Amino acid sequence: MAQCLVVDDDPQVRDALVRVVQSQGLTCVSASSADAALAMLAAQGEVAVLISDIRMPGGDGVQLLEEVRRRYPDTAVIMLSAVADVQIAVDCLKKGALDYIAKPMILGEVQARVAKALEKRELTLQNRYYQKHLEEEVRRQRARIQELFLEGAQTLAHALEAKDAYTRGHSQRVREYAVRTSVLLGYTGDFLDDLRLGAELHDIGKIGTQEALLNKPARLTPEELRHVMEHTTLGEKILAPLAHDRPVILHIARSHHERFDGDGFPDGLGGEDIPVEARIVAVVDAFDAMTTSRAYRESLVPSAAVAELRRCTNLQFDPAVVDAFCEAFPDPAKLPIHV
Ligand SMILES: [Fe+2]
């Protein structure tokens, strides 16, 4: 398609304009009416600059301007107006025309206006390009920062566990159990991705728990238990700044010690008020804790741990989640899995 389209019912004006524009090194075509111009644009695509007379038989230049603005918003439109039409030309500017040229035309002026229109259009296109790509770039950088932060949190979670022979590998096993249980429950996509990460980071708040209490070889006092359970809200706080738009991760950190009967930490939520991702992690977290030795007790064999999950169904655990876990891992003897 040509770069410029001239629309005027007067063949002399039309030809003169085409020649002037061509002398600027632009390709230029012409039409004798608004309808012909629209048909040409429809057949050949948009032009960079359209120069249109205001008064023409048939559809006038103002209607053509409106139509071109609607269909081809990037086309720079210059109106041609007789002195008597100056007010209409000004109205055209309000309707989105870039400029107007008064008749009789001075050819040098036409060239200058066309050059200016092209320059303005180029700037508009460039601005839009930068805006679009800048937004994309900012989005990409934000996602990368979030990713780096969460990777850092993962490293921290593993470092935290590595200090303690009893919990080594706990977060990765919880992640594997949680993901396979969730798949059985029908979850896919983003939920599963966030659950995977959330399960791995569920105990990140233990960074603020007194070490002596984490490894205490005896039952915790109520005050000590309250302190240990603060790892739920602290974990949520640690993760919130960069996972604020990923509630699944935050729900797991905060609510994985809630109980199905409403007697858990930190909010005493019950039943389905507990986010399902936290109900899932509650089950698999308890299973892994039971099947690994802790400072204060020996481990249970997997079948005994499964029996314990069943016994605590409806009290501590969501029965549907326990069922899904048992279905996902039908052979307890193969558990705990090694990751
Ligand atoms: Fe925990």
Distance CA 52, CA 34 (A): 8
Please tell me the distance between residue 200's alpha carbon and the centre of ligand 1 in angstroms.
11
Q: CA 310 from chain center: how many Å?
A: 40
What is the arithmetic mean of pLDDT over 1-18?
Answer: 90
SS (H, E, C) 242-300: HHCCCHHHHHHHHHCCCCCCCCCCCCCCCHHHCCHHHHHHHHHHHHHHHHCCECCECCC
Reported as a pLDDT band with limits 50, 70 and 90, residue 339 is: low
Q: How far apart are CA 160 and CA 96, in angstroms?
A: 63
Distance CA 201, CA 205 (A): 9
Name the 3-class secondary structure at 72. coil
- Section 329-333 average pLDDT: 85
Average pLDDT in the 93-107 region? 87
Calpha distance 11→150 (Å, rounded):
69
CA of 180 to the centre of ligand 1 (A): 19
**Separation of CA 258 and ligand 1 centre (Å):** 10
**Ligand 1 center to residue 145 CA distance, Å?**
26
Banded model confidence at residue 212, pLDDT cuts 50, 70, 90 = confident
pLDDT tens-digit readout, 150-178: 888 888 888 888 777 677 889 999 999 99
CA of 226 to the centre of ligand 1 (A): 12
pLDDT at 203 over 90: yes
Q: Indicate the angle between helix axes 222-229 and 231-243, nearest 10 degrees.
A: 10
> How far is ligand 1, taken at its centre, from the CA of residue 281, in Å?
9
Q: How far apart are the CA of 280 and the centre of ligand 1, in A? A: 13
- Residue 285 CA to ligand 1 center (angstroms) comes to 8
Which domains, from first to last, does the chain contain? 4-132 (3.40.50.2300), 163-334 (1.10.3210.10)
| 306 CA from centroid of ligand 1 (Å) | 19
> 25's torsion region: left (phi>0), alpha (psi -120 to 50) or beta?
left
- 258 neighbors 264 (Cβ within 8 angstroms): yes
Kindly report the average pLDDT of the chain as a whole number: 90
Question: Is the bond preceding residue 332 a cis peptide, omega within 30 degrees?
Answer: no
CA distance 336 to 304: 12
* CA of residue 283 to ligand 1 center, whole Å: 11
Distance 289 CA to ligand 1 centre (A): 10
Beta strand 99-102 with 76-81: parallel, antiparallel or unpaired? parallel
Q: How far is the CA of 163 from the centre of ligand 1 (A)?
A: 16
Asked if 259 contacts 316 with a C-beta cutoff of 8 angstroms, the reply is: yes
Task: Determine how β-strand 49-53 pairs with β-strand 28-31.
Answer: unpaired
For 34-51, what is each residue's pLDDT tens digit? 999 999 999 989 999 999
In this structure, are residues 202 and 223 in contact, taking their beta carbons and an 8 Å threshold?
Answer: no
Cα dist. 88→79, 81, 82, 249 in Å?
A: 10, 8, 10, 60
CA of 256 to the centre of ligand 1 (A): 6
Task: State the DSSP string of 98-165.
Answer: -EEEESSP-HHHHHHHHHHHHHHHHHHHHHHHHHHHHHHHHHHHHHHHHHHHHHHHHHHHHHHHHT-T
The tokens of 303 are what? Answer: 């079948």
Ligand 1 midpoint to CA 57 (Å) = 80
Q: What angle do CA 192, 334, 258 make, to 5 degrees?
A: 45
Q: What is the pTM of this model?
A: 0.64
Query: How far does residue 169's CA lie from ligand 1's centre (Å)?
Result: 14
Over the stretch 265-307, which tens digit does the pLDDT of each residue have? 999 999 999 999 999 999 999 999 999 887 677 888 999 999 9
Long-range CB contacts for residues 327-334, cutoff 8 Å, separation at least 24: 327/184, 328/177, 328/180, 328/181, 328/183, 328/184, 329/177, 329/180, 332/301, 332/302, 332/303, 332/305, 332/306, 333/302, 333/303, 334/302
CA of 201 to the centre of ligand 1 (A): 9
Dist. CA 284 → ligand 1 center (Å): 11
- Determine the distance separating the centroid of ligand 1 and the alpha carbon of 170, expressed in angstroms: 11
B/e letters for 167-201, b = 16+ CB within 10 Å, e = fewer, are bebbbbbbbbbbbbbbebbebeeeeeebbbbbbbb
Token pair, residue 240, equals: 């919130």
Cα of 198 vs centre of ligand 1, distance in Å, is: 12
